[in-house]
Each structure stands twice: as C-alpha cells, then as structure tokens.
A and B are shown apart, each in its own frame.
Chain A
Amino acid sequence: METKEMIKINQLNKSFGDLHVLKDINMTVLESDVVCLIGASGSGKSTLLRCLNFLEKKDNGEIIIEGNEVDPGTDNLNKIRERVGMVFQHFNLFPHKTVLENIIEAPIMVKGVNKEEAIFKAKQLLKKVGLEDKSDVYPSKLSGGQKQRVAIARALAMEPDIMLFDEPTSALDPELVGEVLTTMKELAEEGMTMVVVTHEMGFAREVADWIVYMHDGKIIERGNPEQFFNHPKEERTQEFLKTTMLK
C-alpha cells in the first residue's frame, strides 16, 4: 500500500511587507514521518510551520493537507486545525483553567464530546505524558517542562492526524528539555506524523526521518539524519552544522 501524503506544499511563498520570508517552498510529509526543520533564526522555519495550520496566511502556492488543497478563503480552517495539532514555544496554556480544563476545553466546545468522556480521555493523556497527579493544578504551578507536556496532551486531545511543534524546548531550562523530548519521541514511535522546528540536533539526529535545513527563506538541503549530519552536501549546511555542533 502506498504511504499517504499527509502534507504537500507546492511553490509556497510568503512575505511580511517587503521581507520575503518563504521562497518557493516545496515539501512533502508522508504518514508517520517525523520531519525536523532546522536553520538559524530568521530562516523562515517557524513561519513555514505556522503556514501549515494557517496561523499565517500564505501569499501564493499550494498547501495540501491529507490530499485536499486548502483554500483559506473558502475552506473551513477550523475543521482543518482540528486535525493539525500545534505545540508552541511558549506553551500558551490557558492560565485561567486547570490542567484538566485546558485539555478538555476544545474536545467539549469544538468537537462536542461529552464531559465524562473528555475527562476520561484527558486523564489517559495526562498519564501518557507523566502528569496524572497534576490534573487539578493551574498552569502557574507547573515547571516549563510540565507546561509543555500539558500543551502536548492538550493538542493530542483533539486526536489530530498531524502534530506541529514550534521550537517546543527553546523556552525551557536545560534540565527540563529532556522530559519534553522524551514525550515527543514516544509520540513519534507511536507513528504520529510530526513536523518539528527545533534547535535540538541530538533529537533531530535520533528521532527524525527527514531533516530539512532552511536558510534565508529557502530549503537548502534535505536528507535523512545519517546523510545530513555526516555527509552534508551543501556548503551552507556544512557551515551551519559546524557552528551549531560547537555549542
């Protein structure tokens, strides 16, 4: 059986005013793929990710999600976003809601799941991310790593087909990065389709199926981790890897 194309991007362009941040991007993500987008800040990788669930509007080009081209003008973006979960750098948990309320909010209000079922599911997800004892706590009481794991559980509660991660560990203290990466790794092993913007080269090397290196709004190189890290073809990639690996 042919593997399903979860995301396909054709000739995507995006500008902020005079700044051309995405230049003719082409990319395909197959089912169960883990794709890591890497590159210096300002290279356009976060913007690309945000275009995938239409938090940013593309200027032109095609974005095809699970076989259907999405036209932001006419399609119901909310329906698509239900299937594309997103985890943010700064967690963006709802501070006025407890951990449990954060997780059940969208399933109940958006999908119309009944409350008992949503709570049951939420508790399972909390167990999965190792926070079953935190369900009645407010986000302000959690560490950064715990917040991010709740954010992952919150996105998973909508049962998405694709998960997007926008620098999920960049705002964390170094000792908290591991717990979040472990959760993400487990998710990858379960076969979740994931697109991850990250600076964690160790994670990319270990978990990714594909690495995509972006520079100045363009995709410079892509390859599997072995190829990419050990035998980068492009000069710019080699330079980038040299500077990041020194850190």
Chain B
Amino acid sequence: MPSFSHFFHILTDTKGVFIKAMLLTLELTAVSIIIGIAIGLFFALLKISKIKILELISDTYVYLVRGTPLIVQIFILYFGISGIFLLPDFWAASLALALHNGAYISEILRGAIQAVDKGQMEAGRSLGMTKALALRRIILPQAFRRALPPLGNQFIISLKDSSLAAFISMNELFNVATTLGSNNFDEMTYLLIVAVYYLLLVALMTFVVNRFELKLAVSDR
C-alpha cells in the first residue's frame, strides 16, 4: 500500500489530467442516460401497448441487451458498426451504453407505469382525455416519480459502467488511471485515486437525484 503522503502527492500532481478524464466520464454518462431514458421510455410504451407484435419487439430488445455483457455490446458497436459506417469512438461508447441502459430503464419505467392505479387512467378518460394525453399528463408524471429511486440506481451503474469505454481507448477515468499506473509502476496509487474520483461523482449524482426526489415529493407534504 502507498503511504498517505505519497497518495496525496500524486493526487495533487495528476489533478489536471484526471479532471479532464472525469469530464469525459461525465459526458459519456450524461449522453448514455439521456438517450437511455428516451430508448427506455420508447420500449416501455411498446411493452404496455397491449399490441402483441410491439410487446414482442420490446421483449426481444430487453432480452438481447440483458442477455449479453456490456463489453461485448461496446465491441460490437465499435468494431462491427465501424465497419459499415465510421462511428467516432465517443459515439460508439455512448450509444452502446445508452442501448444498454435503455433496456434496464425500460423495465424500470414499465414497472412504474403499471404501478400507477388504473383509476387514474379512468379518471383522465372520463374527463374526455385521449389515452395519449392521459398518459402524458396523468400517468407518466406519477410513474417517473415512482421510478426515480431505481433510476438513480441505474444512473450510478451507468456511471461506473462507462469505465468499460477504456477498452476502446477512450481516455476516461479508468483508462487514465491504468495507463498512468503502469507507466509509473505504481498501479495501486492510481487505482485508489480513480476510486476517489468515482466516489465524488457518485456522491454528486446521488445528491442530484435526491434533490429531484424531494422536489417531486412536494405533493406528499
């Protein structure tokens, strides 16, 4: 184990390069979450459409994504798709993460939508709302609120999963840590440092999700 003074010395020295890597990690995560939510919502709606073929499409997507490791998906997008049209590294990694997240988010949202009391849809319909309007104005806001804790969990997972982008040579946190570690024959120090950055990011993300939960919980008070 490195000594504390050595650890803090390196931590301070490498601040610049790690912060740059941290921003890339944040970008990968943010893009994968935003696109992941859109994908997740889309497939959740297919799943609850009560139209057999659409349900099947949704099931298949979720099965394929959950059934294969993320690293395999990243490589398929990086090598496979790049063979057909050139996908920049960043987008190969982000899209793989987004598609991956989307499957889990769709299951979270589906569960949350189905957990909303069916009287809510009936109340909306009885006031003359179309199904789409009632879904948008009545059901989804309640479902999102219910989905927030598991979504927060998923966001944290996707933040840490973004480390797999290191394997297609994205200079995000994990890649920077392992590269610097082996260059300096000091792997443990750099791994501990990168752990600190991840913990910071997770703390930030937890804080944001909690604030959001509080904001949405206003109707309970």
Contacts and interface: CB of A to CB of B under 8 A. Distances in A.
Contacts, number: 72
B220 A140 contact: yes
Contacts of A154: 127
A79 B127 CA distance: 9
B145 A96 contact: yes
Contacts of A155: 126-127
Contacts of B216: 96
Chain A interface, >50% SS class? mixed
A138 B221 contact: yes
B128 interface: yes
Interface string A101-113: 0000110011100
Nearest to B122: A55
Majority secondary structure, B binding face: helix
A35 B130 CA distance: 28
Interface string B9-53: 000000000000000000000000000000000000000000000
Given A82-B128, A110-B127, A138-B221, A92 B137 contact: no
B219 A106 contact: no
B39 to A, nearest CB: 25
Contacts of A111: 128
A79 B123 CA distance: 15
A158 B117 CA distance: 23
B119 A85 contact: no
A139 B120 CA distance: 13
Contact of A109 (B123, B137, B218): B137
Interface residues of B, number: 23
A88 B128 contact: no
Choose among B124, B142, B219 the residue with the greatest number of A CB atoms under 10 Å from its CB: B219
Contact-residue bracket for chain A: 20 to 34
A90 B128 contact: no
Interface string A77-95: 0110110111010101111
Given A109-B137, A138-B218, A140-B220, A92 B122 contact: yes
Contact of A78 (B129, B137, B220): B129
A162 to B, nearest CB: 12
Contacts of A90: 117, 119
B129 A109 contact: yes
B160 interface: no
A158 B128 contact: yes
Interface in B128-173: 128-130, 133, 137-138, 141-142, 145
Contact of A81 (B125, B145, B219, B220): B125
Contacts of B138: 94
Given A96-B145, A110-B133, A79 B119 contact: no
Given A96-B142, A96-B219, A110-B133, A88 B127 contact: no
A46 interface: no
A86 B128 CA distance: 10
A169 interface: no
A39 B216 CA distance: 42
A106 B127 contact: yes
Given A96-B142, A96-B145, 8 more contacts: A86-B126, A88-B122, A88-B123, A96-B141, A96-B216, A106-B124, A109-B137, A139-B219
Interface of B: 117, 119-120, 122-130, 133, 137-138, 141-142, 145, 216, 218-221
12 contacts: A78-B130, A79-B128, A82-B128, A85-B126, A85-B127, A92-B123, A94-B138, A96-B141, A105-B137, A109-B137, A110-B133, A138-B218
